[in-house]
Chain A
Amino acid sequence: MQKLFRLSAILSALVLILAACSSNTGGSTGPSGSASSSGDPTAVCAADKFGCVKVNKGDKIEIATALTITGATASLGLDSVTGVQVAIQDRGKVAGHDVDLKSTDAGCSNAQDGQTDAQSLVADPQIVAVIGTSCSRTAVPAMPVLAAQGYLMISPSNTAPSLTNPSSKDFGGPFYMRTAYNDKVQGAAVAKFACEVLKVKTAATIHDGSPYAQQLQQVFADDFKAQCGGTITAQEAIHIGDKDFHPVLTTIGAAKPEALFMPIFDPEAGLIVHQSQDIDGLKNTKLISADGAKDDTFIKDAGPLAQSLGMYFSGPDLNFGSNYTDKFLPEYKQIAGKDPTSVYHAHAYDAANIIFDAIEHVSLTDSAGNLYIPRTALRDYARGIKDFKGLTGTLTCDPNGDCGATFVSIAQLKPDASGKLTFQQVFTTRSGS
Chain B
Amino acid sequence: MRFRLPQRINLVSTILWGLRIVVTVLVLAGSWATLSSGKLAPSDWRDLIVFGIAQGSVYALIALGYTLVYGVLFMINFAHGDVFMTGAMTAFFVARNFGESGFINSNPIVALLIIFAVSMLTSMLVAIVLERIAYRPLRRAPRLVPLITAIGASLFISNSIRGIYGEQSNSYPTVDALQGRLDLFGIPILKTQALVIVSAIVLMIALVYFVERTRTGRAMRAVSEDKDVAALMGINVDRIIVTTFAIGGLLAGAAGVLYALVFNEVDWFMGFLPGIKAFTAAVLGGIGNIAGAMVGGLTLGVLESVGPFLLLGGANVPSPNQLRDVIAFTVLVLVLIFRPNGILGRNEPGR
Contacts and interface: CB of A to CB of B under 8 A. Distances in A.
B263 A250 contact: no
A243 B263 contact: yes
A242 B273 CA distance: 8
Given A243-B270, A247-B51, A251-B40, A238 B321 contact: yes
Contact of A236 (B39, B41, B47, B319): B319
B309 interface: yes
B40 A244 contact: no
Contacts of B159: none
Contacts of A300: 171
Given A209-B322, A248-B321, A72 B267 contact: yes
Interface string A201-244: 00000010100000000000000000000000001111101111
Given A244-B51, A244-B55, A246-B51, A251 B265 contact: no
B168 A297 contact: yes
Given A247-B51, A250-B51, A239 B322 contact: yes
Among B265, B304, B309, B318, chain A packs the most CB atoms within 10 A around the CB of B265
A243 B269 CA distance: 12
B275 interface: no
Given A244-B263, A250-B47, A301-B171, A239 B325 contact: yes
A250 B264 contact: no
A316 interface: no
A271 B265 contact: yes
B306 A267 contact: no
A96 interface: no
Given A72-B168, A271-B263, A271-B265, A247 B321 contact: yes
Contacts of B55: 244
A300 B96 CA distance: 13
Contacts of B171: 270, 300-301
Contacts of A243: 259, 262-263, 265, 270
Nearest to A244: B55
B238 interface: no
- Quick one: which of B47, B171, B324 has the most chain A CB within 10 A? B47
Nearest to A217: B319
Contacts of A270: 171, 265
B41 A247 contact: no
A280 B41 CA distance: 12
A267 B259 contact: no
A70 B167 contact: yes
Contacts, number: 90
Interface size on A, as a range, is 35 or more
Interface string B181-194: 00000000010000
Given A235-B319, A243-B270, A254 B263 contact: no
A253 interface: yes
A253 B39 contact: no
B48 A250 contact: yes
Contact of B52 (A70, A72, A247): A247
Given A243-B263, A251-B44, A251-B313, A278 B190 contact: yes
Taking residues whose C-beta sits less than 8 angstroms from the other chain, chain B's interface range is 35 or more
A5 B69 CA distance: 65
Contacts of A246: 47, 51, 305
A241 B52 CA distance: 18
Interface in B249-292: 259, 262-265, 267, 269-270, 273
Given A247-B51, A247-B52, A255 B167 contact: no
A244 B262 contact: yes
A124 B55 CA distance: 47
Nearest to A205: B319
Contact of A247 (B168, B262, B304): B304
B107 interface: no
A93 interface: no
A267 B319 contact: no
B167 A254 contact: no
Contact of B41 (A254, A267, A271, A301): A254
B169 interface: yes
Interface in B293-349: 304-306, 308-309, 313, 318-322, 324-325
Given A238-B321, A297-B168, A301-B171, A247 B264 contact: no
B122 to A, nearest CB: 20
Q: Counting chain B CB atoms within 10 Å of each CB, which of A267, A270, A279 scores highest?
A: A267
B65 to A, nearest CB: 19
A248 B319 CA distance: 9
A255 B39 contact: yes
B319 A237 contact: yes
A57 interface: no
Interface in B155-181: 167-169, 171
A274 interface: yes
Contacts of A255: 39
A153 to B, nearest CB: 25
A74 interface: yes
Contacts of A235: 318-319
A330 interface: no
A237 B322 contact: yes
Contacts of A248: 321
Contacts of B48: 247, 250-251
A421 to B, nearest CB: 14
B90 to A, nearest CB: 18
Interface string A67-89: 00011101000000000000000
Interface in A270-302: 270-271, 274, 278-281, 297, 300-301
10 smallest beta-carbon distances between A and B, as pairs: A237-B319, A237-B322, A246-B51, A243-B263, A247-B305, A248-B321, A254-B40, A267-B169, A251-B309, A236-B319
Given A70-B167, A241-B269, 10 more contacts: A72-B169, A241-B273, A243-B259, A243-B263, A251-B39, A251-B321, A267-B169, A270-B171, A279-B47, A301-B264
21 contacts: A71-B167, A72-B267, A74-B168, A209-B322, A236-B322, A239-B322, A239-B324, A243-B263, A244-B51, A246-B305, A247-B52, A247-B304, A247-B324, A250-B40, A250-B47, A251-B40, A251-B44, A254-B40, A255-B39, A280-B43, A297-B168
Interface of B: 39-41, 43-44, 47-48, 51-52, 55, 167-169, 171, 190, 259, 262-265, 267, 269-270, 273, 304-306, 308-309, 313, 318-322, 324-325
Interface of A: 70-72, 74, 207, 209, 235-239, 241-244, 246-248, 250-251, 253-255, 266-267, 270-271, 274, 278-281, 297, 300-301
